[in-house]
Amino acid sequence: MAKVKTTFYCQNCGTQYAKWQGQCNACKEWNTIVEEVLLKEEKNDWKAGTVIQSKKTTKPLLLHEIDSAVEMRMRSTDSEFNRVLGGGLVPGSVTLLGGEPGIGKSTLLLQIALFLPFKTLYVSGEESQKQIKMRAERINRHNDNCYILTETKTQHIFKQIEKTEPDILIIDSIQTLHSDYIESSPGSISQIRECTSELIKFAKETNTPVILIGHITKDGNIAGPKILEHMVDAVLQFEGDRNHVYRILRSLKNRFGSTAELGIYEMLGNGLREVSNPSEILISKNDQDLSGTAIAATLEGMRPLMIEIQALVSTAVYGTPQRSTTGYNAKRLNMILAVLEKRAGFRLGAKDVFLNITGGISVDDPAIDLAVVAAILSSNEDIAIEKDVCFAAEIGLAGEIRPVQRVDQRISEAEKLGFSSIFVSKFNKITVKPKNIQVVLVSKIEDVITELFG
Ligand code: TYD
Ligand code: MG
């Protein structure tokens, strides 16, 4: 006779309770604690019914005894995806891909599945095989190695896996799966945890990489228990502004690589396209000299990236001046305006200030501060900044211009893209000796103003 056990879980953060209560102590949400039935059976195993007695035991080894051979990687033809993973998929690894609805998670993974030179099983619990076929037709790619399965029960999925024997398993999405061993409904905390641990077990025992798609909650976290992120080997996030075409694939956790890498894609009518030179498209092309724009040399992960900052400063029509930003931290804008007011004597207190980073991307690299200052001053004075000038420095509260990390890389990228001068802090240690770009060293906002506007 199966023993029925129940526990209470907060559906928002996954905290477990022994009995019901109105508010979750951990996340302070009300009415999120729900009783879930855990139906205990003999032994949960990814192979339904069969109980594998693991004979493999490991013994402790000295570090020098451990084989230091480089982890084998299964490469896809998508170089952005390979790079974010640190070189490709590691056999037996479990990767979680999160992102807002409609951002393109299913498209990205289907596309990768269709381009992979390995046998792939794409399991969808969200869409019918026909819908997936329609998507594949949009991507316009045919692959005899890619199998599509619509199924939500893990035990059935494992049965199909035994038949198909895929090299790579993709699950869209973990929130739609359910396991027989747990009574509660799909998407509940205990189901997500159980299904994930079955899949992890499958991945480790068969050395098959598994990629899971995960939904995110309204505050941007991956839905389900927080431990989900601890259980998997890598967590990737697909983000971007839905109204723009650019998408960024970021790594939040990676046991086999750096989390500083990121991939940039463009969503087109026929799928996602890798963007190998993002700087060129993020800078708008026009011939006129327009006031209020400045180019910043930023770093996204490890890659240098040139972005365009646009500012509009105008006299406030209403009593309270408005400050509005897209892609830039609003508090940081207020700080910069306060510094300009106090340290450089600009009367911006009674003006509306709008700030925009073009391309719909958002940047939190402090090195774009100087470009923000330049854009604001350029709009305020209505004097255009030369198109071939760019900036890479942080602004301090005292109005000082502070050094930024990896300045050499930023200078080289600016030089490569044909900029004629770059403004950096005087306190930055520069080791490169660029030939085709002039490096302007500045230490105070006043220096920038004299250099730019005379
Ligand atoms: P989808 O992959 O379904 O998003 P998710 O799985 O993250 O919810 O894709 C969503 C959007 O992408 C959808 O609005 C349509 C658009 N899209 C394109 O623009 N081009 C394409 O080739 C495809 C397949 C989708
Ligand atoms: Mg989807």
Give pTM, 2 decimals.
0.77
Q: How far apart are CA 386 and CA 383, in angstroms?
A: 9
Give the other-Cβ count within 10 Å of 104's Cβ: 20
SS3 272: strand
Confirm if 131 and 86 have CB atoms less than 8 A apart: no
The per-residue DSSP string of 301-335 comes to TTEEEEEEEEEEEEE-SSSSPPEEEESS-HHHHHH
Give the whole-angstrom CA distance, residue 329 versus residue 311.
Answer: 14
Residue 86 φ/ψ region, left for φ over 0, alpha for ψ in the -120 to 50 degree band, beta for the rest: left
Pocket test residue of 267, 268, 272, 274 for ligand 1, highest count of atoms within 8 A of CB = 267
Any residues with CB less than 8 A from the CB of 40 and at least 6 apart, and which?
A: 2, 3, 4, 5, 181
419, with CB counted inside 10 A (0-12, 13-18, 19+), is buried
pLDDT score for 248: 86
Residue 145 is given by DSSP the state T
Angle between helices 330-344 and 445-453 (to 10 degrees): 80
Q: Would you state the structure tokens that stand for residue 403, as one six-digit string?
A: 């050094």
Q: Which two structure tokens, joined as six digits, stand for 231? A: 């259980």
Write phi, then psi, for 358 (nearest 5 degrees).
-70, 155
Nearest residue CA, atom 14 of ligand 1? 102
Tokens linked to 137: 């037709």
pLDDT digits over 244-282, tens only? 788 889 888 999 888 877 888 989 999 899 887 777 667
Residues lining ion ligand 2 (Cβ < 5 A) are 106
* Residues 238, 140: Cα–Cα separation, whole Å: 22
Residue 108 Cα to ligand 1 midpoint, Å, equals 8
For the CA of 126, the closest atom of ligand 1 is 6
Question: Among the residues of 9-128, which ranges form H helices?
Answer: 79-84, 105-115
pLDDT of res. 49: 47
pLDDT digits (tens, 9 = 90+) for 59-80: 888 888 877 666 788 888 888 8
Q: Which residues line ligand 1 (CB under 6 A)?
A: 99, 101-107, 135, 138-139, 267, 269-271
Cα of 158 vs its chain's centroid, Å = 30
What's the CA gap between 120 and 70, in Å, rounded? 24
CA 123 from centre of chain: 23
Distance, CA 328 to ligand 2 centroid (Å)? 28
- Token pair, residue 4, equals 């029925």
- Kindly give the distance from the C-alpha atom of residue 381 to the centroid of ligand 2, in angstroms, as a whole number: 48
| Regions of the chain short of the pLDDT cut 70 | 1-3, 39-57, 68-70, 225, 280-281, 285-287
DSSP 380-445: HHT-PPPTTEEEE-EE-TTSBEEP-TTHHHHHHHHHHTT-SEEEEETTS------SSSEEEEESBH
Sheet holding 146-150, edge to edge: 146-150, 120-124, 168-172, 210-215, 94-99, 234-240, 246-254, 262-268, 271-274
- Nearest atom of ligand 1 to the alpha carbon of 269: 20
C-alpha to C-alpha distance for 294 and 388, rounded to whole angstroms: 10
The pLDDT, as a whole number, for residue 41 is 55
CA of residue 388 to ligand 2 center, whole Å: 41
Taking the C-alpha atoms of 9, 174, 193 and 164 in order, what is their torsion angle to the nearest 10 degrees?
150
Q: Where do the H-state alpha helices sit in 345-388? A: 369-381
What totals of helices (H) and strands (E) does the chain contain, helices first? 11, 21
For residue 127, which ligand has an atom nearest its CA?
2
Say how many Å lie between the CA of residue 102 and the centre of ligand 1: 6
Structure tokens at 372: 């923000």
What is the topology classification, in CATH, of domain 77-274? Rossmann fold (3.40.50)
Q: How many A from CA of 105 to the centre of ligand 2?
A: 6
The residue whose C-alpha atom lies closest to atom 23 belonging to ligand 1 is 271
Nearest-atom number in ligand 1 for the CA of 139 is: 22
- Which of these, 437, 409, 411, lies nearest to 424 by C-alpha position? 411
DSSP state of 88: S
> What fold does the segment set 281-453 form as a domain?
Ribosomal Protein S5; domain 2 (3.30.230)
Distance of CA 185 to the CA centre of its chain: 29
User: What does the pLDDT read at residue 53?
Assistant: 46
* Nearest atom within ligand 1 for CA of residue 172: 6
Q: How far apart are the first and last CA of the chain?
A: 87
| pLDDT averaged over every residue in the chain | 86
Q: Is 449 left (phi over 0), alpha (psi -120 to 50) or beta?
A: alpha
| Distance from Cα 158 to the centre of ligand 2, integer Å | 21
Q: Residue 264 is encoded by which pair of tokens?
A: 């940039």
Please name which ligand lies nearest the alpha carbon of 240: 1
Distance of CA 88 to the CA centre of its chain: 17
**Which atom in ligand 1 lies closest to the alpha carbon of residue 135?**
24
Atom of ligand 1 nearest to the CA of 105: 7
Alpha-carbon span 224 to 40, nearest angstrom = 21
Residue 107 CA: nearest ligand 1 atom is 2
In the reported structure, the alpha carbon of residue 164 is separated from the centroid of ligand 1 by a whole-number distance in angstroms of 27
Secondary structure string (H, E, C) spanning 242-258: CCCCEEEEEEEEECCCC
The rounded radius of gyration (Å) of the Cα atoms in the chain is 26
Q: For residue 251, give both structure tokens.
A: 């790594």
Separation of 189 CA from ligand 2 center, angstroms?
20
Which ligand is nearest the CA of 126, by number? 2
Mutate to test the pocket of ligand 1, among 96, 103, 107, 124 (most ligand atoms within 8 A of CB): 107
Give the pair of three-digit tokens for residue 123: 């399991």
Q: How far apart are CA 373 and CA 389, in angstroms?
A: 14
The 10s digit of each residue's pLDDT in 367-386 is 999 999 999 999 999 999 98
